[in-house]
Amino acid sequence: MVQPFVQYLREKGGLTPAELDAVASVSTFKKIRKNQYLLEEGQISDFIGFVVKGSFRLFRVGEDGQEHIMRFAIENWWIADFASFMNGQPSKCYIEALENSELVIITKDHWNGLLETMPNFKHMIDMLTARNFEAHQNRIYSNISESAEIRYENFVSKFPTIYNRIPLYMIASFLGLTRETLSRIRKQAVKKSSTDL
Which one-letter amino acid corresponds to residue 123?
Answer: H
Burial class (CB in 10 A: 0-12, 13-18, 19+), 55: buried
- 137 touches a copy of itself (CB under 8 A): yes
Which residues in the 172-191 window bind a copy of itself by CB under 8 A?
A: 173-176
- The one among 53, 142, 181, 189 contacting DNA by CB under 7 A: 181
- The one among 3, 145, 164, 194 contacting a copy of itself by CB under 8 A: 145
- 161 touches DNA (CB under 7 A): no
Which residues in the 47-106 window bind a copy of itself by CB under 8 A?
A: 60, 62, 66, 68, 70, 82-83, 86-87
Q: Which residue stretch of 47-55, 71-79, 115-123, 143-151 sits at the interface with DNA (rule: CB under 7 A)?
A: 143-151
Least distance (Å) between residue 115 CB and a copy of itself: 11
Residue 197 parent element (H or E):
none
What lies within 8 Å, CB to CB, of 113 at 6+ separation is 26
Any bridge partners for residue 47, and if so which?
Answer: 107
- The one among 147, 160, 161, 192 contacting DNA by CB under 7 A: 147
- 176 touches DNA (CB under 7 A): yes
Report the DSSP pairing between strands 101-107 and 47-53.
antiparallel
DSSP string, 93-117: EEEEESSSEEEEEEEHHHHHHHHHH
Judged by beta carbon distances under 5 to 8 A according to partner kind, the member of DNA, a copy of itself, none in contact with residue 180 is DNA
Q: What share of the chain is helix, strand, coil (3-state, %, to 5)?
A: 50, 20, 25
Q: Where on the chain is the footprint of a copy of itself (CB under 8 A)?
A: 60, 62, 66, 68, 70, 82-83, 86-87, 129-131, 133-134, 136-137, 139-141, 143-145, 173-176
